[in-house]
Amino acid sequence: MIGLQSNKVIKQKERGWQMSALTYTIDTLLVGKHYRSRQRHDEGTILHAEKRDSIWYGENLDAYAIEVRSTRGIKNFWATVAVRVGE
């Protein structure tokens, strides 16, 4: 069956809407996630993330500095996490 499309797609094409793939970065994917430290016994929601090129964890691993809104206090804290990249 060739050319079967949903009604939503057909209407979008009729209206001239562009359909595009969303691109994400690791920074944006980390923001909003829950973080819990095993060493510092602190946890919270990640507010900001940025790549740290000055730290090397190993092959296929990148270091990211994250700012976390603590659930146990009023002060935000920073941590460094390793993120696996590639395959």
Q: Is 77 part of a structural domain of the chain?
A: yes
Task: With respect to residue 16, please indicate whether it lies within any of the assigned structural domains.
Answer: no
pLDDT at 10 exceeding the cut of 60: no
The answer to whether residues 37 and 79 touch, using CB atoms and an 8 Å cutoff, is yes
Residue 62, domain member (yes or no): yes
> Total structural domains in the chain?
1
Q: What are 25-43's pLDDT values in tens digits?
A: 888 999 999 999 888 888 9
Task: Establish if 8 belongs to a structural domain.
Answer: no
Q: What is the per-residue pLDDT across 46-75, written as a single tens digit (0 to 9) for each?
A: 999 999 999 998 899 999 999 999 998 889
Q: Which residue has the higher pLDDT, 11 or 31?
A: 31
Q: How confident is the model at residue 18 (pLDDT cuts 50, 70, 90)?
A: low
* Host domain of residue 32: 24-84
Is residue 52 in a domain?
yes
Alpha carbons 57 and 63: distance in angstroms, whole number: 7
User: H/E element holding 36?
Assistant: strand 34-36
Residue 44 and residue 70 in contact, taking contact as beta carbons nearer than 8 Å: yes
**Dist. CA 80–CA 87, nearest whole Å:** 22
The per-residue pLDDT for 9 is: 57
